[in-house]
Amino acid sequence: MRRFTSRILQLEALTITRTIVYSLLLLLFLGSCSNDKPDKISAIVDRTKLPKLHATEVTTIISDSGITRYRITANRWDVFDKATQPYQEFPDGIYFEKFDPNMKVDANITSKYARFNENEQLWILRGKVRAMNLQGELFETEKLFWNQREQKFYSDTLIKITQSTRIIKGLGFESNESMTHYKIINPQGIFPLNENAGTSTPTPTASNPVQAATVPQTAVTPAPPASQAIIPKAGSAIKQK
C-alpha cells in the first residue's frame, strides 16, 4: 500500500513538473510572438512610406480658383500625403503645359524627374530639364526650381538659353513663370547660333520632347560674327525684359 501511494505521488509530481515546463514554454512562445507582432504591424501601417495615390500613364488638368492653370502628363505619379512633409513624386519624368488667363500655352517644360513639395508649393525638376517660352526660346539645365507661391523659376546650375540667333550660357538663373523676363546670375558668354544666324529658331527633335509654340518671333538683338562671341565681365548679369 505504501509503495502504491508513493508511486501515485511520483506520478503526480511528474505531471505537475511537466505542466510547469509546458506552461513556461507556452509563455516564452507567446512572448516571442508578442514581441514580433508590433514590428510587423507597424511596418504594414507605416503610411509615411506608402503613397495614398499611385497612378500610371496620367494626363490631368490642374485648376486654381476655377481657372485652368496647367496640364500634366506623366508615366507615373505617387502622392505621399502622410509624409512629414507631404509631397508628390514623378520618378519617370513629367511634361507640363502652362496656360495663360486666355487658355493659351505660354510655356512648356519637361524633365526626367519631378517632385512637388505641397507645403512649400515648390516643384523640383531634375535631369535634362527643358523649357520653351512663347517666344520660342529654349532653356536647358540639369536642375530647375519652380516656386508657385512666389510665381518664379530659378536654378543654381548651368543654364543654356537658345534664341533664334544666339546661345547664352551661365550659372544661376531667375525668371517669371512665363519665362519671358529672366536674369542669368553669372553669365559665361553669348555665342552665335551659326554663321548664317538671323532667322532660324530652335527646332525640337526626337531627343527633345518640348513642343514649340507657333507664334510670331519677337525682335532679337543681332548676333555678333562667329569669331566674336561676347564674354561678359565677371560679376555682371544678363537680363531679358
Q: Which residues of the chain have pLDDT under 50?
A: 1-9, 11, 14, 21, 195-231, 234
Burial category of 75 from C-beta neighbours within 10 Å (exposed 0-12, middle 13-18, buried 19 and up):
middle
pTM: 0.64
Q: What is the pLDDT of residue 157?
A: 95
Residue 239: CB atoms within 10 Å? 10
Rounded Cα–Cα distance for residues 18 and 20 (Å):
5
Distances (CA, A) of 4 to 10, 11, 17, 83, 147: 10, 11, 20, 72, 93
Q: What is the pLDDT of residue 106?
A: 81
Contact 74, 53 (CB under 8 A): no
Q: Using one digit for the tens of pLDDT, what is the confidence trace for 53-68? A: 889 999 988 887 777 8
Residue 103: CB atoms within 10 Å? 8
Domains of the chain from N-terminus onward: 49-240 (2.60.450.10)
Contact 110, 95 (CB under 8 A): yes
Q: Which grid cell is 228?
A: 566674336
Q: What is the pLDDT of residue 122?
A: 96
Element (H, E) at 144: strand 138-147
Rounded Cα–Cα distance for residues 184 and 173 (Å):
5
Q: What is the pLDDT of residue 35?
A: 52
Q: Using one digit for the tens of pLDDT, what is the confidence trace for 23-40? A: 555 555 555 555 555 555
Closest CA to 72 of 41, 96, 99, 104: 96
